[in-house]
Amino acid sequence: MKSRRAPKRLEYFDRGCAAYERVTGVAGVYLCPLCGDAFTQDDVESDRLTLEDVPPKSVGGRPMCLTCRPCNSAGGHQVDATVAELARMGRLHDAANRRGTPFSARAHVPTLAGRVNARLSYDKNGVRSLKAYRSENDPRILESAATVTSVRVSVPFRVSERVAFVSFLRAGYLAAFSFGGYSFALDGRLDAVRRQIATPDADIIPQSAMMIVPRDAVPSNAPFVGKSIRPILATAVCLTIAPRAYRGAIMVMLPPLADGDDFYDRLTPLYPPGEGRRRQETEVVAWGWPTGPEHQWDYPIPEDLGQPR
């Protein structure tokens, strides 16, 4: 039985094939933008090419391009799980601030007698409840905790800052590919970015390549692919994620197609470790946000659309 998403996959495959042929002269081939492996239409029909949500679906992403199943699965298991945890953190923050977001999670309540395992819940009106179940606790600790009038509650989250960074780097790269196409993805200056995406735990790209910017500093308060003009020339991708795990929008800095050699060596002194999440004097021009594989740079376009060459 064919998947309901098969027509969209075939549409995205055809767009990618046409763009790849314009750039390389090779017809009937789709290159996975992450690993560079080549695929044909048979791979669409056999589900070896899959729709990729950008950013991850857990933070509001939508299908934007095709990647091969191994790359998509690796992204979900290794990287996007961390972003899903960030989304849970954002939902807890919204619920605790009475923003109409229901939330429920396991929680820990420390007492003098020991830790109580409980469940913390908020309803849509922000009303909080905390329940502890006998089946999950030592009865002696529960008896001691029954007399406590004020408690401190902690909700455990499994978040790796490094892996979260790689997830947003991945989303930024795929958004730039969807907007620009193979003229962007085939540039050798992006090899280090792809290696970092393939090995999230490796230290290849500095975390200064991602920064948090105030939402009021984002053009149109919306996601976009654009161009950083100051203090460094870069392909800039702004990701506005929901719920708000970060107090601002995420800006991912990628090498430009022109003057991109040693890009990250030059970027790090401008945004040193520890500074990447503070407000930066960064001048950015927004080009737009792709709703699918547009591959604009693979076709002749007016100069004012911002082809970064």
Q: pLDDT band for position 112 (50/70/90)?
A: confident
Q: Are residues 53 and 202 in the same domain?
A: yes
Q: Are residues 173 and 297 in the same domain?
A: yes
Q: Are residues 15 and 149 in the same domain?
A: no
For tokens 């506005």, what's the residue? Answer: 240
Q: pLDDT exceeding 70 applies to what percent of the chain?
A: 84
In a domain, 91, yes or no: no
The per-residue pLDDT for range 26-43, each reduced to its tens digit, is 999 999 999 999 999 999
Residue 45 DSSP class: H
Q: Are residues 66 and 110 in the same domain?
A: no
pLDDT of 281 reads 72
How far, in Å, CA of 13 to CA of 283, rounded?
A: 35
* Enclosing H/E stretch for 74: helix 69-74
The per-residue pLDDT for range 49-96, each reduced to its tens digit, is 999 999 888 778 899 999 999 999 876 666 777 777 777 777 777 777
How far, in Å, CA of 215 to CA of 266, rounded?
A: 26
In a domain, 93, yes or no: no
Mean pLDDT of 177-193: 95
Q: Determine the distance from the C-alpha atom of residue 118 to the mean position of all C-alpha atoms in its chain, rounded to a whole number.
A: 31
Q: Are residues 286 and 229 in the same domain?
A: yes
Q: Using the 3D structure, point to which of 114, 137, 158 is the last residue of a domain.
A: 158
Q: Are residues 135 and 247 in the same domain?
A: no
Q: Using the 3D structure, point to which of 158, 176, 203 is the last residue of a domain.
A: 158
Total Cβ atoms within 10 A of residue 96: 14
Q: Are residues 175 and 151 in the same domain?
A: no
Q: CA 22, 26, 32, 35 torsion: positive or negative?
A: negative
Q: Are residues 168 and 154 in the same domain?
A: no
In a domain, 32, yes or no: yes
Q: pLDDT band for position 301 (50/70/90)?
A: low
pTM to 2 decimal places: 0.81
Strand-pairing partners, residue 250, are 212, 239
Q: Edge-to-edge strands of the sheet including 128-132?
A: 103-111, 114-122, 128-132
Straight-line distance from the first to the last Cα atom of the chain, in angstroms, rounded to the nearest whole number: 45
pLDDT of 25 reads 96
pLDDT of 62 reads 92
Q: pLDDT band for position 189 (50/70/90)?
A: very high
Q: Are residues 140 and 288 in the same domain?
A: no
Q: Are residues 12 and 80 in the same domain?
A: yes
> Hey, what amino acid is at 51?
L
Q: Determine the distance from the C-alpha atom of residue 115 to the mean position of all C-alpha atoms in its chain, rounded to a whole number.
A: 35
In a domain, 1, yes or no: no
pLDDT of 308 reads 47
In a domain, 97, yes or no: no
Q: Are residues 173 and 244 in the same domain?
A: yes
Q: How many helices (H) and strands (E) does the chain have?
A: 9, 12
In a domain, 72, yes or no: yes
Q: Using the 3D structure, point to which of 130, 158, 186 is the last residue of a domain.
A: 158
How far, in Å, CA of 219 to CA of 215, rounded?
A: 9
Query: For the chain, how many structural domains are there in total?
Result: 2
Q: pLDDT band for position 151 (50/70/90)?
A: low
Q: Are residues 150 and 168 in the same domain?
A: no
Q: Does residue 104 carry a pLDDT above 60?
A: yes
Averaged pLDDT of the chain: 83
In a domain, 107, yes or no: yes
pLDDT of 27 reads 96
Domain range for 247: 6-86+160-305
pLDDT of 12 reads 97
In a domain, 42, yes or no: yes
The per-residue pLDDT for range 208-217, each reduced to its tens digit, is 898 877 766 6
